[in-house]
Structure 1
């Protein structure tokens, strides 16, 4: 499976793709600090900067799963919620890339505020745009604590499967069935004893592929920012980055990042569907 990410940040989707056994073909991120993080961890992936000017025509028909946490600031309760009037409203740009690349799967992510902004106008627009391009769409609200994390972090996930490629919406139906189990322990996830499911702790192979990284559990997960106190996975030896800048940019990067363990749940369902449908 070949994966590519838009609005890549520090690579949450890309990391989950590696855990799922996929190949990261390209990423697209405009922030210079995040670009360095992506280059450090995913040196073989093609890098793009500004999504508004990047040309993705070379990837048409070559990407299985295209992901993107399109900027949430226009809808976040922490901001002014200017929505479509915000310069950072970039869903139309992601849609343009989808039309160009034509991936079989699209996975989008945004804050919970997108559901009720302007009575759900943008939420409905995202779904309608994908359906107009031939995708069957299913949306989910999944918190980080749904995969055992010691915090809530509710996010909206759009999962779209190209109906024309398979002739049915079985892909999103499989996603819906699996999604029913994600929420089982979310109310208990804030307790100190809550951990990831046992299979996650020992599994280091997926669909016949050897993973580069072992999927971490939530033991010793800090309740405050790990920057400057624990190994947070962000390299602190980046050329030309002073420590104060690294610290500020790291906090910003984590604040904007997705929880890769949530993305992995979605990716594993895609894997199950993709690989099982070809079994004799």
Structure 2
């Protein structure tokens, strides 16, 4: 599989792709600190900065899985929740990239607050926009604790497959993303609140993918989530954090996805692809 990432941050999706044995084509991130992290750990990927000023049409038909944790600040309960009036509401830009690239799969991520903002208007809009572009969409609410993390961190994940790309349904092979548990309502209704969350504290056997050992949480809360191994990222990403960048590190980790969750989604995509 040939993936690429938008709103890449410090590379949560990129790291998960590496664990899955995939080669990332490009990343796109506006923050200078995050771009430096991406360049250090993913030097072979093409790097873009501002999604609003980038033409992705040269990647048309060349990307299998396009990912993006489009900015959550407009919908997060921790912010002002200005929604579509917030200049950081960049889902329309991600949709433009999807139109230009036409990937087989799209994996989007946002905070749970997107479900409640304006009675779920933007949540429904994301699903409707993807369907209008020819994708079958299945949203999930997946928590970090579902992959053994010592914190909940519920996130909404949009998994979409292009309907003319050789499959009949995105739901086939998607149930049980978290250790065999059912995480989607199979009647097709968009009811993320019905999705079962894995119980906190349960851990699984270590996974190996792409030649790498996927980190698990073992010492929480005895180590800082910024300088220790409890953030879900490899210790390699901690290595280039220096004191003068500490504030940038905290912000970057706070905005990051949990790559172990993304890796489970990628494994489900692989299973679907093998069935076709």
- What is the TM-score with the length of structure 1 in the denominator? 0.86
Quickly say closer, same or farther: Cα 1:122–1:270, change in 2 above 3 A: same
- Equivalent-residue separation in structure 1 for 2:220 and 2:44 (angstroms): 29
**Hey, what's the Cα distance between the residues in 2 that align with 1:78 and 1:94?**
23
8 Å contact kept, 2:226–2:249: yes
Query: Corresponding residue for 1:121?
Result: 121
Contact 1:138/1:176 (8 A) holds in 2: no
Instruction: Flag the 1:44–1:134 CA change in 2: closer, same or farther, 3 A.
Output: same
Distance 1:79 1:185 in 2: 25
Partner of 1:254: 253
Deviations 1:99-120 (A, max 9, x none): 0000000000000000010011
Alignment of 1:1-280 (within 5 A): 1-166=1-166, 168-169=168-169, 171-176=170-175, 178=177, 181=181, 186-187=198-199, 189-190=200-201, 194-195=202-203, 197-198=204-205, 201=206, 203-205=207-209, 210-211=210-211, 213-222=212-221, 225-228=224-227, 232-237=235-240, 243-244=243-244, 246-277=245-276
SS in 2 for 1:175: coil
Q: Distance in 2 between matches of 1:91 and 1:30?
A: 15
C-alpha deviations, 1:24-80, integer Å up to 9, x for none?
000000000000000011000000000000111111000000000000000000000
Per-residue deviation, residues 225-272 of structure 1 (Å, max 9, x unmatched): 33346684335547xxx622x111110010000000111111000011
Distance 1:237 1:110 in 2: 27
Shift of 1:276: 3.3
Summarize deviations over 1:147-181 as a string: whole Å, max 9, x none.
11000000000000001122521x33321354661
Q: Partners in 2 of 1:269 and 1:56 — Cα distance?
A: 26
Instruction: Kindly indicate whether the alpha-carbon contact (under 8 Å) linking 1:226 and 1:232 is maintained by their aligned counterparts in 2.
Output: no
Quote how far apart the aligned CAs of 1:185 are.
Answer: 7.5
Q: How many residues align?
A: 259
Q: For the residues of structure 1 that align with 2:142 and 2:197, how far apart are their CA atoms? A: 12
Cα shift at 1:146? 1.0
Of 81-90 and 223-232, more deviation after overlay is shown by 223-232
1: CA distance, partners of 2:56 / 2:255: 24
List gaps (5 residues or longer) in structure 2: 184-195
Gaps of 5+ in 1: none
Deviations 1:7-39 (A, max 9, x none): 000000000011111110000000000000000
CA offset digits 1:184-239 (Å, max 9, x no partner): 7733x24xxx32x12xx1x434xxxx42x21112112446633346684335547x
Separation in 1, partners of 2:71, 2:51: 12
